[in-house]
Amino acid sequence: MVLSGCGLPLNSIRELPGLSERPEPVRVEPSISNAPRPQPLPSGENAIVTAVERVGPSVVRLDTVKRVVNPLGGLFGGRPSIQQQAGQGSGFISHSDGLILTNAHVVEGANEVGVTLPDGRSFDGRVLGSDPLTDVALVKVVATDLPVAPLGDSSQLRPGETAIAIGNPLGLNNTVTSGIISAVERTNAVADGLRVPFIQTDAAVNPGNSGGPLINGRGEVIGINTAIRNAPGAGLSFAVPINLASRIAAQILEKGEASHPYIGVRLQALTPQLAREINATEAECTVPERVGVLVVEVVGGSPASRGGVETCDLIVEVAGEAVTDPSEVQVAVDRGRVGEAMTLVVERQGERQTLTVEPQELPRRG
């Protein structure tokens, strides 16, 4: 928001002492949550039961309808030219006026979104926006005084803490499963291209759980259940941290889309073996024989190019965070803001240099 109309002509402002350097207005993102802070659990009570009772009423079922065109429809007595594909997922109410957080893939391409609360009430939902890079979407229903899920702080999570998943797996409404947080900051666990430091849990999650909340033992949402990886003997579940999801949802609420910083480099995970191959065959590059993040291309005219990043640089820090994998670089860059300076520490020919880049908005496809 830009403030204007102070009541003084511009020449008068220039003459006033102390106003030559006016402070930048504080930028406040819109709030996506109005839930009160949960009170501590009473001693002796079952923590999981109480946590579920706090969050459960706000967990919704999302029924989607996507209309697709069949190019051969209607020919030779075939199927209709427009067909409907039904889908189902989960979500949770973050604001009592009808804001619902879910996954982008749950509502992707949906023409209709039905929202059903545990108490039986149903609403027509409208997708305010979605972000495929973080798999976060925001849905709105016209209602007031809805039950709200309190949001926690995912930056404080530690492996071993209680993790509880609530959702509608396989069409079974309001299913509760529990486990522990197995790991945090899993940046390369699900799919290439996602800018998410996932929370990994061993709580059972199945199709239909997507978009539902992952909560802690205090009854606070700490993540959005997003993906699973089946493995012999057990499944691995991954959730988008709620701090990231809240930031993306606030941007969608404010602008209709999410903002992602971009610096313009192509990266390669460096290993000792790859380093030896590069040093033996590439006259232009000499890289250390260790694990790291190698710059293999700098886009011309990009923020990285203007900031002095060069091919064959090894990125070791982004905005003060140590990085050892390309996905960690991507997540660290995404934590910054478009137009705000960011420091990169690179290793070049055995010497470390600190560079400054100013990220721009990620070019949008299509």
Which residues are part of the catalytic machinery?
105, 135, 210
Long-range (24+ apart) CB contacts under 8 A made by 336-341 are 336/261, 337/259, 337/261, 338/259, 338/261
Contact 162, 177 (CB under 8 A): no
CA of residue 93 relative to chain centroid, distance? 17
SS3 label, residue 101 = strand
82 phi and psi angles, rounded to 5 deg: -120, 120
Positive or negative torsion for Cα 336, 342, 345, 349 = positive
Q: How far apart are CA 344 and CA 306, in angstroms?
A: 13
Q: How far apart are CA 1 and CA 132, in angstroms?
A: 26
Q: Which residues pair with 115 in a beta bridge?
A: 62, 123
**What's the one-letter identity of residue 212?**
G
